[in-house]
Amino acid sequence: MSNFIDSVIDKVNNEAVSFYSRIVNNNPTDTDKIIGTIGCVSILYYFLFLPSSPKMKKTVPRKPYAKKKLVNNDKFATLIDKTLQNEDKINAVVNKFKTDFEKDCEKLLDPQNKYNPNDEKMAYQKKFLGEILMKLLLELDAVDVSEIEDIERKQRIKQMRKDGIRLIQTYLKPIDALKK
């Protein structure tokens, strides 16, 4: 039996050495390619599909997070109601600008009240008004007239929107141009 085992080991050893030398010399036979493919697939199958022993995770009890109260501030509310018709949206944006922000813009742009970028209140006012005016412009830009069939009404809405944009931009451009 010992002779048989020795002959098998010698045969396997010779075949393994010849297999290795063919692979290294970049001259594999079709059998070598098949053996290599089967070996790679077997290794992949072993690592991907055979279930491993389940690992127990330690769970650490955590404190429940405190529920934060939502801030209910008018400054963060949407500027214009989304359910309004196109004309009403445009009028609401223009009225919101005229009633709430036009005086502040005029006060900031007043030549007697010279803008000082080092004054924190003025710098904040400039940034705030710039953001609000941009938000109002975006509200006007969101008015969609592409689905309106009546050409006369469509032109009227476009003109209203254009006038509102021009009004807001007459204040926005000088505010943005103030020195930083």
Query: Model's pTM, two decimal places?
Result: 0.53
On the 0-12 / 13-18 / 19+ scale of CB atoms within 10 A, 42 is exposed
Q: Looking at the domain assignment, is residue 104 inside a domain?
A: yes
Q: Looking at the domain assignment, is residue 57 inside a domain?
A: no
Q: So what's the pLDDT on residue 64?
A: 66
- 78 with 148, same domain: the answer is yes
Q: So what's the pLDDT on residue 168?
A: 93
User: How many domains does the chain contain in total?
Assistant: 2
Instruction: Give Rg (Cα) of the chain.
Output: 38
- 39 with 87, same domain: the answer is no
- 44 with 91, same domain: the answer is no
CB-based contacts of 133, cutoff 8 Å, min separation 6: 97, 101, 105, 168, 171, 172, 175
Phi, psi of 133 (to 5 degrees): -65, -35
Nearest to 109 by CA among 93, 136, 95, 130: 130
Q: So what's the pLDDT on residue 165?
A: 93
Nearest to 141 by CA among 86, 99, 97: 86
Range of the domain at 134: 74-177
- 90 with 42, same domain: the answer is no
- 93 with 170, same domain: the answer is yes
Q: So what's the pLDDT on residue 80?
A: 56
Output the tens digit of pLDDT for each of the chain's 180 residues. Answer: 778 878 877 776 677 666 667 666 776 777 777 777 887 777 777 777 766 665 666 676 776 665 555 545 555 455 555 556 888 888 989 999 999 888 988 888 888 888 787 888 888 888 899 999 999 999 988 888 888 888 898 899 899 999 999 999 999 999 888 876
Q: So what's the pLDDT on residue 55?
A: 61
Q: Looking at the domain assignment, is residue 68 inside a domain?
A: no
- 28 with 106, same domain: the answer is no
